[in-house]
A and B are shown apart, each in its own frame.
Chain A
């Protein structure tokens, strides 16, 4: 059946990529212009249409307030989090607070939730695939950083639904990369995936046993990525400009965007050529009305010194992952680099030094995740697998410990980090007052025994059990982490065996109704630059026009 296809989508902080298994081989699907990766940038145009991708990226300067980028840094986060505060300071688009401490962006008098923005990027990937394949695409596997928590995964899944996709699975980016690397190779190795993306850093240690891909441990930093490298160059350029001209370019959001673009370009250039000649003509005007240029030269040495501490931070995370896997760097048979910033010599050399091994070549760090996702997407549609087996099995883990809140602002661990998923764990709770008719449980993720140091996933309220004296009612609460890494909670009254009902007060996510509303609104948003394949177009018979 030709229409039974599922694509793999790498939804990145800076760039996204879509792939599918075609003629039994995973392949990246380019857009009409042959571009294989697409900027995760959404620009809202004056005529109400929406531009997504590399063309939208050009609007970051000219249509700054209405062009949203790096939305992934905000997805599934609380409005009060540091990451959101930081984004508010530097992003040219308006970030506002929504219900339940959620984050919204305001563009052209419209207020959108972050999953709605990501949905537009996914919709673009869907459209690219549909144009290339010539038929509708409804199903997808979407990737997310391994270190994403439940809120961030749920929000990613919501984004897929809003885009009109049936998200078969959320898989971890490093796991997808490992799958693309080891699929069909019949190897038995211990490998490390070093995934430095635009906004996040992940490291996963896997053991590949032919068709089985077992994640031994994963660790990460969702506040570290290529963007931070750009920031260092930006900061340096701005300080230098301030010293020379007495003007701080960072004070003006327009100049800031030019500066950011210059920073990103310089990073790529210095990585490729060993030196970057930065020249931004007429970046600003001084009070005398004189138009000023930004001109500088960045050498590899200067750049390396600027970012050395960032690179060092990644190895702390590697240490942590290796320790959890009970391995040392010497036990690793192969190192796979993922993400654009891993093209930088400073990163490659440091990785080589740390593992005492050359990282694998011949793997495109920008495309490998989407390729892996497409292999998984294809596998999940395989009806024969039930009888003959899959060609690959992903055995992944949960990156963070699952905890419940206890008295005094403390938490207690329910499921350890790096536990294989899907998994379930039950815990018995009891009532503390006579006649109590509900029990509230707060669920957290994180490694601190204090609630403050963890991320709140939600508050679950159980009702509908027997009403009795305190301590008499025993409620068994089962916490399940599914194959997507998403947490589900169910409760049973132990004496009666009756399932109690659950209400979840969402922390920052979207309610079912929110998603439905977003889906219908999203369906109306037209993606610019695509021929909208409408029914009436097919009605036109070419002969009649002659």
Chain B
């Protein structure tokens, strides 16, 4: 094996923690999806562990393994548009050196965001949400009386919820007058 290559492997393995994923794949930040794939194939041909499986030097195999895992990591992030955007933002900021390796948004964080969205959409309290979703169903079925009752119940739990109030005015307008709390 040529000495040049071994020097390259050693230098690259050493420098891995100082370069970003674009550097790992040897591409520019403007690379297209096709460029990324092409680079991934090129680097795979150079550093795939299978290529060195029969090489006698354990040290070489260890270094190649380390490099190739990083190549896969880089490809995984850069091929995904959403992850790539976040990553580019990360490495363009002041924290660049700490963010050279992509960290996924924690699942708990994602869940927190989802929860917030649901709360905004359907209310902050479990009972408020329950009555509000029931009201939405009744509205869809044009059961105005039932919708009004459900909304009023929802407002008992969240008196200031603007969404609940808004829907209530809509329902009150839509409801035919004679249907109001008829006593049979």
Contacts and interface: CB of A to CB of B under 8 A. Distances in A.
Interface string A76-110: 00000000000000000000000000000000000
B53 A168 contact: yes
22 contacts: A212-B45, A376-B50, A383-B54, A385-B50, A386-B51, A386-B52, A386-B54, A386-B55, A387-B2, A389-B51, A390-B48, A393-B51, A412-B108, A419-B72, A420-B76, A421-B72, A422-B65, A422-B72, A423-B72, A424-B69, A449-B107, A483-B50
Interface in B17-53: 41, 44-45, 48-53
B82 interface: no
Interface in B64-99: 65, 68-69, 72-73, 75-76
Contacts of B72: 419-423
A480 B51 CA distance: 20
A412 B69 CA distance: 22
Contact of A423 (B50, B54, B69, B108): B69
Interface of B: 1-2, 41, 44-45, 48-55, 60, 65, 68-69, 72-73, 75-76, 104, 106-108
A143 to B, nearest CB: 16
Contact of B48 (A393, A423, A480): A393
B73 to A, nearest CB: 6
Contacts of A380: 50, 53-54
Contacts of B60: 386
User: Top 3 A-B pairs ranked by shortest CB distance?
Assistant: A420-B72, A380-B53, A386-B55
A242 interface: no
A229 to B, nearest CB: 36
A428 to B, nearest CB: 10
Nearest to B71: A420
A379 interface: yes
Contacts of A483: 49-50
Contact of A387 (B1, B41, B44, B49): B1
Interface residues of A, number: 33
Nearest to A386: B55
Q: Do most interface residues of chain A lie in helix, strand or loop, or is the interface mixed?
A: mixed
Contacts of A416: 76
A386 B54 CA distance: 8
A390 B68 CA distance: 15
Most chain-B CB neighbours within 10 Å: which of A168, A212, A376, A421? A212
Interface of A: 168, 209, 211-212, 214, 376, 379-383, 385-387, 389-390, 393-395, 406, 412-413, 416, 419-425, 449, 480, 483
Given A389-B45, A420-B76, A422-B69, A379 B50 contact: yes
A385 B45 CA distance: 10
B172 to A, nearest CB: 41
Contacts of B68: 422
A212 B41 contact: yes
Nearest to B72: A420
B115 to A, nearest CB: 14
A274 B84 CA distance: 54
Given A413-B107, A423-B72, A395 B44 contact: yes
A474 B104 CA distance: 19
Given A209-B41, A212-B44, A480 B108 contact: no
B62 to A, nearest CB: 12
B73 A393 contact: no
B106 to A, nearest CB: 7
A292 B108 CA distance: 64
A458 B75 CA distance: 29
Contacts of A212: 41, 44-45
A361 to B, nearest CB: 29
Given A413-B107, A420-B75, A422-B65, A386 B45 contact: no
Given A212-B44, A423-B69, 12 more contacts: A211-B45, A380-B50, A386-B51, A390-B48, A393-B45, A406-B108, A416-B76, A419-B76, A420-B75, A421-B72, A423-B72, A424-B69
A188 to B, nearest CB: 11
Count chain A CB atoms within 10 A of each CB in B41, B53, B55, B104 and give the residue with the most.
B53
B36 to A, nearest CB: 12
Contact of A422 (B1, B49, B55, B75): B49
Nearest to B75: A420
Nearest to B52: A386
B112 to A, nearest CB: 13
Contact of A382 (B41, B54, B73, B108): B54
Nearest to B60: A386
A27 B69 CA distance: 33
B73 A423 contact: yes
Contacts of A390: 48, 50-51
Contact of B107 (A383, A395, A412, A480): A412
A366 B55 CA distance: 33
A480 B72 CA distance: 12
B76 A423 contact: yes
B44 A393 contact: yes
Contacts of A168: 53
Contact of A480 (B44, B45, B50, B69): B69
A393 B75 contact: no
Contacts of B75: 420
A376 B72 CA distance: 20
A480 to B, nearest CB: 7
A416 B75 CA distance: 13
